Amino acid sequence: MIESFCAIFMLPSLHVRGGNPRQLFGSMKGPFGEPCLATERELPKSGAVFRTGHELGHAPARDSAFYADYGRHKPADAGARHLREQNMIEPDEVPPTARGTNLYIADINLQRLLERRAPEELRRHEDRLADFGAWAGGPLDEQAEYTDRHANPQYVPQPYGPNGPQPGHIVFNPRYVECHAEAYARGAVGLPYQKGASGRHLACFTMGYLLSQADVSIHCPVTMTGAVAHVLHTVAPKEVRERFLPQLTRMDGQALSGGTWATELHGGSDVGTTTTRAVKTDQAWALHGLKWFTSNAGSGLALATARPDGAPTGGKGLGCYLVPSHLEGGEPNAYSVRRLKEKVGTRGLATAELDLNGATAFEVAGPGEGLKVMMAALEYSRIHNAVASAGLLRRAFVESLGWSAHRAAFGQTVIHYPMVQDQLLDMQMELEAAVALSFESVFAFDALATGALATGDSDPEQGGDWLRLVTALAKYRTADQAVKACRTAVEMVGGNGYTEEFPTARLYRDCLVTAVWEGPANIQALELLRLVAGKRPGDQIFLGRVGAALSDLPPQAGDTADLLEGALEECRAALSHLRRNPDQAPRHGRRLLDLLSDTLATALLCEEAVADLKLGDSRKMLVANRFAARVLAHHNPIATEMEPALAAFEDVILYQPVG
């Protein structure tokens, strides 16, 4: 049984640690014996660092000394732990992790989805994705563990100079720098912008899904770089676009990375309360203020919200500006790190509080459009957040499966126990639902970008509404399930899974950011309500999309068709109630998120199942049936009356007697 699981999921039969971070696992084989070769390319020198807001440079001797101690703490080589040719391993051996797996070749569900929905794009990029999967499953994953445990980015302050305090810089370990640059060189951002490209971002989002299985601390800056590039490509003035976009999209290993600076101390997700000022200068703008939570603080180009002097309050008064790390003469721009955040996870990623001290910036969009432009960048990031959550869920599932297939307890490997099988099937069905939901937002993005609207409607505004709606649903549900799956993986592995020597601990810490980044659940609920209970026709678009999936279900769907039909009617009733009673919408936002995301995920699984049934394969139908039975059968209807506990909220919260 072990051999079957290892063959299907390409789990390595030995536990690889240490080794050369530049090794690209070129000897790996695909499921049919084909080589999965990854091309070695010239990478930045090992002394490279990111300075605060600076492009790749070379570390002075001080920075090399700063990291000298880290060399003594590299993970020890555990050696090759060969599995016995039987259903149990030696008592003193640890089951293998997924490291060394080609994350793309091993993912049958992903390949079938791409073949079904985007066969031309798959043929265009499959070799690249296979190479990327080998790199992500090997050197990138190894670097991620090293950076997370032993070599987090550090802020190095500078001593006072003749003119007062000098800006410090952020130091990254060389292995992180190499992998970060490698992601861009492999096309994780630049592919859609190359000559002759289709303009679709599917391959980039797929790379994001693979990246997150190995290192969310690399995927996060790749996400923001893609978001900045998307904004520059679509809305920036010509002179700004032509000057800066190529610096983000080049694929020669020298690309700059991007950032999005919106969050401020007092506002959080309420970007409309931004207090950062934009002051017009002779040739550009100067930004003054504090950005409280800037991920990828070493970015070369960042989008920032700011309010020009005299502009109105609220979101309508915000502009959006591009802030380079360096000016044309090479001198650093006028912003500095106040401190780095100490975070639960994504510890390889530098997240900082930044003081903008008259930083030179270029206008991308002025007041009235600035907030919309920043929201377009955040929407792009939310799609990446969804595929990242799906990727984390995938890694949690594979680690749980690998452990269960090798770990012996009470005389047999634990995968033979029905309770374990039940857990694994639940993880797998949630994984496949997450992939379906997150990639639906990817396909909606590409359809809108290329004019082939996924809704079947020729109205670009409706295509935009569907993109926003499905992205909010996908961002929320995939993050929620990723956290649950990563916690389950820790539990299934047990004591080893709770230690930092096993990847499940890092997965669990890293996955928590997906529920927070680019808006937690309540923010996604507000976005949903704007689309289905406001001026937009999102409710009708949603009902039409699910209704189309329901109408195609064959008799083999059985109870699933009834459950989906019931869920659709529940959605219709809830949406109709909120249309008639918009004042009640805020109270029901979270429940509506659950109802609509669960219903859409079921519909998407059913669509996949129908396609496979036509090929004589009913496996996906079994997954859809299980998902519908587990998820749709247990919804609480949205109440039309105020819940008693909510009506007495203050008394209940404050332990006051209620008459």
In the predicted model, is pLDDT for residue 371 greater than 50?
yes
How much is the pLDDT for 643?
Answer: 84
In the predicted model, is pLDDT for residue 235 greater than 60?
yes
What percent of the chain lies above the pLDDT cut of 90?
A: 74
Least confident of 93-102, 221-230, 565-574, 612-621: 93-102
pTM of the model: 0.86
How much is the pLDDT for 28?
Answer: 35
Give bridge partners of residue 278 from the DSSP assignment.
Answer: 287, 308
Burial of 69 (0-12, 13-18, 19+ CB in 10 A): exposed
Cβ atoms of residues 125 and 210 within 8 Å: no
Four-point Cα dihedral 373, 375, 378, 379, nearest 10: -100
Cβ atoms of residues 406 and 577 within 8 Å: no
Cβ atoms of residues 304 and 286 within 8 Å: no
What percent of the chain lies above the pLDDT cut of 70?
A: 83
How much is the pLDDT for 641?
Answer: 78
Residue range 59-85, pLDDT digits in tens? 333 333 333 333 333 333 333 233 333
More confident residue, 98 or 70: 98
In the predicted model, is pLDDT for residue 327 greater than 50?
yes
Residues in CB range of 90: below 8 A, 6 or more apart? 84
Give the domains, in start order, of the chain with CATH numbers.
259-373 (2.40.110.20), 527-639 (no CATH)
CB atoms within 10 A of CB 583: 7
Report which of 19, 43, 58 is spatially closest to residue 178, judged by C-alpha positions: 43
In the predicted model, is pLDDT for residue 123 greater than 80?
yes
Residue range 12-52, pLDDT digits in tens? 543 333 333 333 223 333 333 333 333 333 333 333 333 33
How much is the pLDDT for 62?
Answer: 32
CA–CA gap between residue 475 and residue 601 (Å, rounded): 12
How much is the pLDDT for 505?
Answer: 97
pLDDT classification of 639: cutoffs 50, 70, 90: confident
Q: What is the mean pLDDT of residues 155-166?
A: 75
Least confident of 68-72, 153-157, 361-365: 68-72
Cβ atoms of residues 18 and 77 within 8 Å: yes
How much is the pLDDT for 42?
Answer: 36
Q: What is the mean pLDDT of residues 595-620?
A: 97
More confident residue, 131 or 10: 131
CA–CA gap between residue 59 and residue 70 (Å, rounded): 16
How much is the pLDDT for 45?
Answer: 32
Q: What is the mean pLDDT of residues 310-318?
A: 93
Residue range 252-309, pLDDT digits in tens? 999 999 999 998 988 777 888 899 999 999 989 999 999 999 999 999 999 999 999 9
How much is the pLDDT for 459?
Answer: 67
Give residue 422's identity as a one-letter amino acid code. Answer: D
Report which of 359, 358, 345, 354 is spatially closest to residue 170, judged by C-alpha positions: 354
How much is the pLDDT for 23?
Answer: 31
H runs (alpha helix) in 345-459: 370-406, 418-450
CB atoms within 10 A of CB 487: 17
